[in-house]
């Protein structure tokens, strides 16, 4: 191919009504030895790109938007303390990826975000374990522009013995079981519509007694009793936004039981929910798994329950774009096929796309 070198500082094409045709081709057809300043149209990304001497970068385009899918999971609630305590509710779950979101709703719409614009990311903290008291609610997780961001509500804390009701949250905490001469077990905490389910109810009985399971993203926490799944945390939801299969989030914590001789030994809901305490003695149960929003297990005996699991924010977008992560956030980016996936595991801050 002949090369015509233009040495003048000005190229005057004002007498032409048509367009200027640039070099073009897909990503694999980029020149093998580019020079800084090389300019071309990438027919794969439909973007004009320039080589800066180190890498190919897209030219800034006014008004350009980028499609972004999201998973926003809040921190899980802490399990209740003292006797027969309720399990912590899972953190609220909202997602645009896949078919379903939390609370039995359909997945939300993906977002169209602007380049060179700051978006807030906040990862919800875990709910504190209840020390002979109500489990703490998990912290909210957020993503988007302040005022119109996606907000997932922290999971409700599990109820302690003597103050039986579970707390409301993204998913509700389970209530504690009581002895019949003390009173009737309260209700499980309410979940948030579009994010999670209610907590289960504890049981008042002279023969077996224990706390209800915390609610999960896809199921109500189980009421305590002698059967195989009674007192278990509600199941979380499978959301494979990071790729692969079997990625579950936001399972409820199991209720504490007075001892294995008095009823079922509980488990946490799939998706990071912690198991309830299971023996006569200071068994606090199991904490929710970090970065799943799982609820913490309720205590079996006098003392503290277990903390919930921290939340997580995950975004998925075309791999032709780059995310810049601001101070205060902990995040990592991986490539899955034609997309990038950025996972935020802690902190609060802003991000932008280019």
Residue ranges of the domains in the chain?
1-59, 63-354
Q: What are 263's two structure tokens?
A: 């009823």
Q: What are 278's two structure tokens?
A: 């299971």
Instruction: Give the Å distances, CA to CA, from 18 to 14, 21, 33, 56, 73.
Output: 10, 9, 31, 27, 51
Class of domain 1-59: mainly beta
Spell out the residues 6+ positions from residue 109 whose beta carbon is closer than 8 angstroms to its own.
96
Average pLDDT over residues 151-174: 93
Q: 48-57, 235-244, 257-266: lowest mean pLDDT where?
A: 257-266
Question: Is 137 a residue whose pLDDT tops 80?
Answer: yes
Q: 172-186, 212-226, 307-321: lowest mean pLDDT where?
A: 172-186
Q: What is the pLDDT of residue 32?
A: 76
**SS3 label, residue 148:** coil
Sign for the pseudo-dihedral over CA of 298, 104, 335, 319: negative
Of residues 327 and 147, more confidence is placed in: 327
Q: 46-50, 112-116, 141-145, 267-271: lowest mean pLDDT where?
A: 46-50
Reported as a pLDDT band with limits 50, 70 and 90, residue 186 is: confident
Distance, in Å, from the CA atom of 2 to the CA atom of 184, rounded to the nearest integer, reads 90
Q: What is the pLDDT of residue 1?
A: 45
pLDDT in tens, 281-316: 668 889 999 999 999 999 988 788 999 999 999 999
Question: Is 142 a residue whose pLDDT tops 90?
Answer: yes
Average pLDDT over residues 191-205: 92
What are the DSSP E strand ranges found in the chain? 24-25, 39-42, 47-51, 56-58, 65-73, 93-95, 111-114, 119-122, 141-144, 150-152, 237-238, 248-249, 312-318, 323-325, 329-336, 339-353
Question: Is 58 a residue whose pLDDT tops 90?
Answer: no
């Amino acid at each position: 191919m002949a090369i015509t070198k233009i040495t003048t500082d000005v190229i005057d094409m004002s007498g032409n009504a048509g367009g200027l045709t640039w070099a073009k081709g897909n990503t694999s057809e980029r020149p093998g030895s580019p020079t800084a300043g090389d300019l071309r149209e990438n027919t794969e990304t439909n973007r004009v790109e320039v080589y800066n001497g180190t890498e190919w970068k897209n030219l800034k385009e006014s008004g350009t938007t980028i499609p972004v899918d999201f998973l926003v999971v809040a921190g899980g609630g802490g399990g209740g303390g003292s006797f027969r305590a309720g399990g912590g509710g899972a953190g609220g779950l909202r997602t645009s990826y896949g078919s379903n979101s939390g609370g039995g709703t359909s997945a939300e719409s993906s977002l169209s975000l602007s380049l060179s614009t700051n978006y807030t990311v906040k990862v919800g903290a875990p709910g504190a374990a209840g020390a002979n008291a109500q489990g703490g609610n998990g912290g909210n997780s957020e993503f988007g522009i302040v005022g119109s961001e996606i907000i997932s509500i922290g999971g409700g804390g599990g109820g302690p013995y003597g103050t039986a009701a579970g707390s409301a949250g993204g998913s509700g905490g389970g209530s504690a079981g009581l002895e019949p001469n003390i009173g009737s077990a309260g209700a499980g905490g309410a979940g948030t519509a579009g994010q999670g389910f209610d907590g289960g109810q504890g049981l008042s009985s002279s023969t077996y007694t224990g706390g209800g399971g915390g609610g999960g993203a896809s199921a109500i926490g189980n009421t305590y009793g002698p059967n195989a799944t009674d007192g278990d945390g509600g199941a979380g939801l499978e959301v494979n936004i990071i790729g692969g299969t079997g990625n579950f989030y936001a399972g409820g914590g199991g209720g504490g039981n007075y001892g294995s001789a008095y009823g079922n030994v509980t488990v946490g809901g799939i998706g990071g929910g912690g198991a309830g305490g299971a023996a006569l003695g200071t068994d606090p149960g199991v904490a929710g798994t970090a970065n799943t929003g799982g609820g913490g297990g309720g205590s079996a005996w006098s003392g503290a329950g277990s903390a919930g699991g921290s939340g997580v924010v995950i975004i998925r977008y075309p791999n032709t774009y780059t995310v810049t992560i601001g101070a205060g956030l902990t995040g990592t980016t991986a490539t899955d096929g034609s997309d990038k996936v950025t996972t935020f595991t802690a902190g609060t801050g802003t991000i932008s796309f280019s």
